[in-house]
Amino acid sequence: MIIDRLIEKINATGNPTVVGLDPRLSYIPAYITEKYFTKYGNTKKAAAKAMLKFNKKIIDAVYDIVPAVKPQIAMYERYGTEGIKAYESTVEYAKLKGLIVIGDIKRSDIASTGEAYSDGHLGCAEINGEKFPGFPHDFITLNPYLGSDSITPFLKDCKEYEKGVFVLAKTSNPNSGELQDLICDGRPIYEHVGALIEKWGQDFIGSYGYSSVGAVVGATHKEQAERLRAIMPHTFFLVPGYGAQGGTAEDLSVCFKDGIGAIVNSSRGIIAAHLKDEYKLCYNDERNFAMAARQACLDMKNDLRRCI
Amino acid sequence: MIIDRLIEKINATGNPTVVGLDPRLSYIPAYITEKYFTKYGNTKKAAAKAMLKFNKKIIDAVYDIVPAVKPQIAMYERYGTEGIKAYESTVEYAKLKGLIVIGDIKRSDIASTGEAYSDGHLGCAEINGEKFPGFPHDFITLNPYLGSDSITPFLKDCKEYEKGVFVLAKTSNPNSGELQDLICDGRPIYEHVGALIEKWGQDFIGSYGYSSVGAVVGATHKEQAERLRAIMPHTFFLVPGYGAQGGTAEDLSVCFKDGIGAIVNSSRGIIAAHLKDEYKLCYNDERNFAMAARQACLDMKNDLRRCI
């Protein structure tokens, strides 16, 4: 089970942190961007190449102290097919370095369409009987709005290719409650979704009691996370919202149970650490941006371990 | 307003049909696939090139009798970056032929990430102050589970670049009710979503009384569609589920009001018409597959006009 491999990597590094690889041009030091803009002009290709270079430097600096990375595909789709190429190369490079990769793609569609997404992101596309793997993700994120039959195609590939998914339950954004907190039959929608996720994971429970069908539960909603932890005993949580979005280690500590059960994402807080006052002084040469990211991972580890 | 242009194209063709460009290799005649497999071997590139060729033939055969096409990006993501290239070329070719293009991408994320999706699919990516347009969609589809702040970045680009969106309200799949039909405060979730969509569209109402912020409402749920039509007077509907999924013209007629107000998608029923018994006899040479698709569009038009 892929969830066991994730938990073992978390234990080995002692760090339940996933680095969100959501690069923006404004985060990337000029010595990198200038190189590509000089070579390729102001083009999507140059932007995408700079992002990939930036990601590789970050990965090189953190791969031994974190279990996983989570590239956000939107940041790459922004630059069209060139961006998607950089996304693919980022996923491949992270895998090469031994990291677990969570593709943050939040896809969702009816079953026959879901199969196509799953072929591209978890399983294989078949061409004249030959199988061609998609992006080499270990996990992807999914949106539950369409219901069980939209999730089934991905579960089939989770079984066949030993992969996992994280399904949105309670998201970290300010308006998440607009639909997710509506009360039906005495409990909010996100709990209904939580119960479904727990059910979808039944056949995927690994050696540590958690299933490869996880849930996205925002760090910005402590009470809700606490309640979800209680009703989803076998579900591993992917927790966004720490740091830049306002979630604290204290808030999200309720996502853990006996020190495990969740992995916490930070994107800006790590990959743009070199732009923050607290790291600027030590890493004032822009060429040290990846070392600032490494230090931010260690600081986040200490902050989390204080509370869990 | 882009919604006005869509309504005018529907009126000009007299056909509220959108052709779903969701190709599968099994739909594509051997004379096309063999050419590319011979040239590029069994590769994603060959599959993607065959899909693009197939799409172009379909577009050539239908562009004068339908207002719009709706490529489903999952079918292209299945083949990775090569697939995405074929997707992009399909969108570009359809635009060149004067068709309205609805990118069926069902994206959704928190606001800062939504901006990146919107840059890539509706607006522009900015590189050193220069603006680079994304895929030249007229509309895209969105998932509402995250709430208003996840939709806002797209609305901003709808305003700036005269684009539109269709947000999922009630989907056509069998399990759509699992979450969408849950009752809160006396009405189902999909009605809550419907009310939000109507609100998001307030500033986008065009000359015909409909807004550029539309809703996806499945043809497979007649009573629900009728109710949504009543509570969403300014919202244009994109209606999937006709034909292969079981929705009939009678079922979906409730999505219309005075003969307008909706556009109905058919994918398999049109692009794979040449494989159906009713068209096989007339179009028995596989090279006539696109003519079968044209006939299926005309038959669908007649079927719809019978009821609306």
| Torsion from C-alpha of A87, A116, B31, B244, nearest 10 degrees | -150
For residue A106, indicate whether it is catalytic.
yes
Residues B182, B188, B192, CA angle at the centre, nearest 5°?
125
Taking all residues of chain A, what is their mean pLDDT, rounded to a whole number? 97
Summarize pLDDT for A91-145 with one digit per residue, the tens.
999 999 999 999 999 999 999 999 999 999 999 999 999 999 999 999 999 999 9
Q: Nearest residue on chain A to B193, judged by CA atoms?
A: A179
For position B280, what pLDDT does the model report?
Answer: 86
Scanning B57-86 for CB atoms below 8 A from A yields 72, 74-75, 77-81, 83-85
Residue A285 has pLDDT above 90, yes or no: no
The answer to whether residue B177 neighbours chain A at the CB level (below 8 Å) is: yes
> B127 — contact with chain A (CB < 8 Å)?
yes
Phi, psi of A188, rounded to the nearest 5 degrees = -70, 160
Q: Touching check for B117 and chain A: CB below 8 Å? A: yes
Could you tell me the domains of chain B?
A: 2-307 (3.20.20.70)
What's the pLDDT score for residue A32? 98
- pLDDT at position B20 is 98
Query: What pLDDT, on the 0 to 100 scale, is given for residue A244?
Result: 81
> Do residues B27 and B275 make contact, with C-beta atoms less than 8 angstroms apart?
yes
- As a whole number of Å, the CA-based R_g of chain A is 19
Strand partners, B164: B139
Phi, psi of A121 (to 5 degrees): -120, -15
pLDDT of residue B31: 97
Tell me the pLDDT tens digit for each residue of B3-14.
Answer: 999 999 999 999
Report pLDDT digits (tens) over A182-200. Answer: 999 999 999 999 999 999 9
- Predicted pLDDT of residue B143: 98
DSSP secondary structure letter of residue A248: -
Out of B85, B97, B106, B222, the active site residue is B106
pLDDT single digits (tens) A224-239: 999 999 999 999 999 9
Q: How far is A75 from chain B (nearest CA, A)?
A: 5
Query: Cβ distance A274 to A57 under 8 Å?
Result: no
Give the pLDDT confidence of B39-52 residue by residue, as tens digits: 999 999 999 999 99
* Residue A67 three-state SS: coil
Beta bridge partners of B133: B124
Q: Compute the distance between CA of residue A29 and CA of residue A102 in angstroms, rounded to an integer.
A: 25
Query: Residue A241 in 3-state DSSP?
Result: coil
How confident is the model over A140-160, as a mean pLDDT? 98
Query: CA B174, CA B7: separation in Å to the nearest integer?
Result: 30
Average pLDDT rounded to a whole number, residues B98-114: 97
Chain A to chain B, count of Cβ pairs less than 8 Å apart?
Answer: 199
Residue B282 pLDDT: 84
Q: Could you give the CA distance from residue A71 to residue A99 in angstroms, rounded to a whole number?
A: 12
Residues of A within 8 A of B130 (CB-CB) are 42
pLDDT band per the 50, 70, 90 thresholds, residue A280: confident
Q: A30 touching B, CB under 8 A?
A: no
Render pLDDT for A68-96 as a digit per residue (tens, 0 to 9): 999 999 999 999 999 999 999 999 999 99
Q: Check residue A182 and report its DSSP letter.
A: -
- In this prediction, residue B215 carries a pLDDT of 98
Cα separation, A68 vs A10, in Å, equals 8
Q: How many residues does chain A have?
A: 308
- Quote the minimal CA–CA distance from A280 to chain B in Å: 24
Collect all residues with Cβ–Cβ distance below 8 Å to A199 and sequence separation of at least 6: none
Nearest-Cα distance to chain A for B207, in Å, is: 30
Please tell me what DSSP assigns to residue A204.
Answer: G
pLDDT band (50, 70, 90) for residue B213: very high
> Of A143, A185, A189, which has the smallest distance from its Cβ to B143's Cβ?
A143
ipTM of this predicted complex?
A: 0.98
Flag if B81 and A84 touch (Cβ within 8 Å). yes
Q: Does A157 touch chain B (CB under 8 A)?
A: no
Contact, A121 vs A105, CB < 8 A? yes
